[in-house]
Structure 1
C-alpha cells in the first residue's frame, strides 16, 4: 500500500519563520531580511529592498504588508491573492534611483512562479516613490 501526501499542489507552503531563508534571494534569514519590514519593526531603506520585501510578502501571502506599502493613489480597494500561485524565485535585473538620496526609483525584475502546476514568469519594471519618508510601490509595467 502506498502513502499519498495529504498536501496537494494547491496547499500553501509552510509559514516562514525568522530562521527561514529569505524568499527574496538575499543571503540572510527571513527575520534579518524581509521579515523585519513585514513586522513593521523597520521600513525598507531603498526601493530595491521594498521590491524584495513585497515579493517576499507575495510568497508569505501577507496582504496587509502589500496594501501598506502601496501608494494610496494606485492601491486597489481590495487585494486577494491566488492561493494556486506559488512564487519560486526573484531576479533583480536593474535599479535606477531609489536610494536614501532619491525620491523616486525603478526596479526591473523577473519573478518566477508556478500556477496550478504550470511554470511562468512575471517580468516587470516597478516604479517607487518615497512618501512621508517611506518607500511605496506606485505601479508596474510589463516588460517583454
Structure 2
C-alpha cells in the first residue's frame, strides 16, 4: 500500500512507523504527514494521541471527526512550507493543503499548523485556516 501522505513511498516505510510509535515522527512535518495519513485511514486514536493535550478534542468531537474523515474521499497532501520543527526544535509550523472530495466537489483545507515538541514527541496544537 502506498502512503497517503506521499504516494511515492510505501506506507510501511513512511507513516506506519509513526502510527505504531509516535516518537518516530522526529519533525513537525513528519507528525503532520502522519496525521494526514491517519485522517485518510480513519485512525482516530492516533489523531487523539498526536494532538496536544491542551487542545485535544473531547469524546463527542472525536466521534464527529471520525465520522467526517470517513465520509470524504481524500485525494492528496501538499506541504507548502515549514518553519522550524526539526528534531532540535521545540516548536514548528507546517503550511499545507489537503485535498478531498465531498458531495461530488473537490475541497481544500489550507492550514498553517502549530506543533510543540515536549520531552517525548511532537504534537499538533492548532491550525490557522487560509481562505
Partner of residue 56, structure 2: 75
When the two structures are superposed, what TM-score results if normalisation uses the length of structure 2? 0.90
CA contact (8 A) 1:84 1:116 kept: no
Q: CA deviation at 1:58?
A: 0.3
CA contact (8 A) 1:112 1:121 kept: yes
Count of residues in correspondence between the two structures? 125
Q: 1:1-144 maps to which residues of 2 (within 5 A)?
A: 20-25=1-6, 27-40=8-21, 42-78=23-59, 79-80=62-63, 81=66, 82=68, 83-144=70-131
Between structure 1 and structure 2, the one with the greater Rg is 1
Partner of residue 10, structure 1: none
Q: Which runs of 5+ in 1 are unaligned?
A: 1-19
Over aligned residues, Cα RMSD in angstroms? 1.3
Q: CA deviation at 1:132?
A: 2.2
Query: 37-46 or 20-29: which moved more?
Result: 37-46
Q: Which runs of 5+ in 2 are unaligned?
A: none
CA contact (8 A) 2:31 2:123 kept: yes
Secondary structure at 1:58's aligned position in 2?
Answer: helix
Q: Pick the structure with more strand per residue.
A: 2
Q: CA deviation at 1:131?
A: 1.6
Q: Pick the structure with more helix per residue.
A: 2
Q: Structure 1 residues 42, 132: CA separation in 2 closer, same or farther (over 3 Å shift)?
A: closer
When the two structures are superposed, what TM-score results if normalisation uses the length of structure 1? 0.82
